[in-house]
Structures are given as structure tokens and as C-alpha cells.
Amino acid sequence: MALHKDLTGAELHEPKGADTATDRQVYVADGAGSGDWEDKFEGILNLNEYWLTSYMTDISTASNRAYFYVPIQSEIFELTAIINNSITTGNATLSIYVNNVLFPEDLDVLYTGSASGDAFTQGFVTANTIAAGSVIEVRSDGGSDTTTPAFLTLGLRAK
């Protein structure tokens, strides 16, 4: 019978507890001959998320645009607009285009009670994969009045 220290290849076995460890857990030795199974991502808040920023000169002008360059394969999970003035008459809808193709979800910037510094955020649930090197464009429908610049933040998750 081979000694445990001499086992190789298919004779080797998983560490104790591997059969009950959950997804994303790794065994972390405690330095005293034992250890525990721990979630390797615990405490990491962003989990491959990153944010890009851009500026739109006037969300009240139809087809006013802001652009983002996507450096790595990603998916869109959020768009935020912070307006630098109040808007009037109607909402401004910000549509997203990925390489000139309309994305199925958008962001409405509401005019009722709007004021400079207001933030509008839309989370997205549409499954999407955006290739590295893509250009994302955000366009306004110009549905509002009053010249209103907006600071845009696009939330992406690397895939």
C-alpha cells in the first residue's frame, strides 16, 4: 500500500469538506494545520463592475449625444444622469445605442419637481454582452424644455 505522501494523479483526493463547499468558496489555511472554506469574493463590493462617465450638453435638445468607449467585453447594468438645471414641459428620455443599435431599455429624466443636482438612475435587466472596443451612445429625445446639461455615468460589468 502506498504512503499518503507518495500518492499521485488519480490517487489524489479533494481536500476535506470539498463535497459541502458552496460555489466560489476556497479553502484558506489557518497556519495551524487546519483551515476553513470561505467565499473568495466576500467583502469585494464591485465584482468586476466599473463606471464610465460622460457629459451631455443639453438633454432638452433632440438627438443630443454622449459617448462611452467600452474597453473590455462587458454588460450594461445601470445608467445615471445628474442634471445641471431643472427641465420643464415634459420628460427627457435617454436612449442607449450600442454600435448604433438601439438597446431595449432607456432612462427617463422626469421634469416634475426636477432641480439642478437631481440624479436619475435606471438599472437594466436585459441580458446583454457588449464586445470590447464597442462604442455606447446615449441620445436624448428632446422631450423637455430648458437648456439642461447632464453628467452621465454608465455602469458596466466585465464578462
pLDDT tens for 117-144 read: 999 999 998 889 999 999 999 999 999 9
- Sign of the four-CA dihedral 127, 157, 81, 44: positive
Which pTM value belongs to this model? 0.73
What are the boundaries of each domain within the chain?
Answer: 17-43, 49-158
CATH class, domain 49-158, is mainly beta
pLDDT at residue number 33:
78
Per-residue pLDDT tens digits for 90-116: 999 999 999 999 999 999 999 999 999
- Is the confidence at residue 17, as pLDDT, over 80? no
Maximum Cα interatomic distance, the chain, rounded to a whole number of Å: 85
* Percent above pLDDT 70 for the chain: 96
Residue whose entry in the numeric block shows the C-alpha cell 490517487: 11
